[in-house]
Amino acid sequence: MTARLLDIRGLTVSRGPGDVLRDVDLSVRTGELAVLLGANGAGKTTLLDAVSGLVATRAGQLRFDGEEVSGLTRTRRARLGIRHVEQGRAVFGDLTVRENLAVAAPAERHAEALEPFPELHKRMHVRAALLSGGEQQMLVLARALLRPASKRAAGTRLLLLDELSLGLAPIVVARLLPIVRSLTDQGITVLLVEQFANLVLPIADTVHVLDRGAIAFSGSPAELEASPGVLHKAYLSA
């Protein structure tokens, strides 16, 4: 295992006519919680999409545990342990919590994935549409932690999380974030995209700021706080 689980060099991604990401360097160390901040449209979602294989890269390198993955399909990357929770809490509303998990993996694998979410244990037979927003987000996270049925597939090693806070009350987000933080204790590396810095800086090991498709800052939360101009510029120039 390499110290840099994810190592991105010179990444350029185009969507439509222009480059959405330009020459991005970003690395995430094994076992850390890294946060990616930036204004609306800065390219945060696109960066996660490029890592998981939802969007093709135009130039640059994407190494996962030392292996170049930019030429691999999304399925192959998932098998290596890259899991992507996209924006917007997609659950099967008509299915129960248990059935939502069963769609992704057999029942004997559910207990391990549910461990960080005691609230869900009591709701296994409830239809997902009837869960609160926070509980739905927990279900989506539990699904991302399920060990796949295929013996060749790795468990979750890198979890890409896109704006968990979207549409949730701050008090619900405050309940979710420590759970996300605790995943790193299980050896899961997390790259978390967020628009609101104040929510996530307290739990981050490292912070990256995207400003119109380019990295404007990489460092610790304390270093970012010591340079308030970075966020100001990234959010105001958008």
Nearer to ligand ATP, 3 or 236 (CB): 236
Q: Is 88 in the site for ligand ATP (CB under 6 A)?
A: no
Question: Whole-number minimum distance, CB 27 to ligand ATP, in Å?
Answer: 19
Contact set for ligand ATP, span 25-44 (CB under 6 A): 38, 40-44
Amino acid sitting at position 211: D
Helices (H), the chain: 44-52, 74-80, 97-104, 110-114, 118-121, 133-145, 170-183, 197-200, 221-225, 229-236
Question: Whole-number minimum distance, CB 236 to ligand ATP, in Å?
Answer: 15
Nearer to ligand ATP, 40 or 75 (CB): 40
**Options 27, 28, 45, 60; binder of ligand ATP; rule CB under 6 A:** 45
The H or E element spanning position 61 is strand 59-64
CA angle in degrees (0–180, nearest 5) for 109-110-115? 115
Q: Is 17 in the site for ligand ATP (CB under 6 A)?
A: no
Nearer to ligand ATP, 2 or 195 (CB): 195
- In a 3-state reduction of DSSP, which class is residue 30? coil
User: Cα(135)–Cα(124) distance, rounded to whole angstroms?
Assistant: 11
**Options 30, 182, 195, 218; binder of ligand ATP; rule CB under 6 A:** 195
Residue window 155-194: x/- pattern of binding to ligand ATP, with contact defined by CB under 6 A: ----------------------------------------
Q: Is 147 in the site for ligand ATP (CB under 6 A)?
A: no
**CA distances (Å), origin 34, targets 99, 120, 220:** 32, 26, 9
By C-alpha distance, which of 238, 195, 202 is closest to 37? Answer: 195
Q: Is 5 in the site for ligand ATP (CB under 6 A)?
A: no
Q: Is 229 in the site for ligand ATP (CB under 6 A)?
A: no
User: Cα(51)–Cα(153) distance, rounded to whole angstroms?
Assistant: 17
Nearer to ligand ATP, 38 or 53 (CB): 38
**Options 5, 6, 8, 20; binder of ligand ATP; rule CB under 6 A:** 20
**CA distances (Å), origin 218, targets 25, 36, 80, 152:** 9, 9, 26, 35
Question: How many residues contact ligand ATP, by CB under 6 A?
Answer: 12
Q: Is 52 in the site for ligand ATP (CB under 6 A)?
A: no
By C-alpha distance, which of 199, 229, 189, 195 is closest to 34? Answer: 189
Interface ranges with ligand ATP (CB under 6 A): 15-16, 20, 38, 40-46, 195
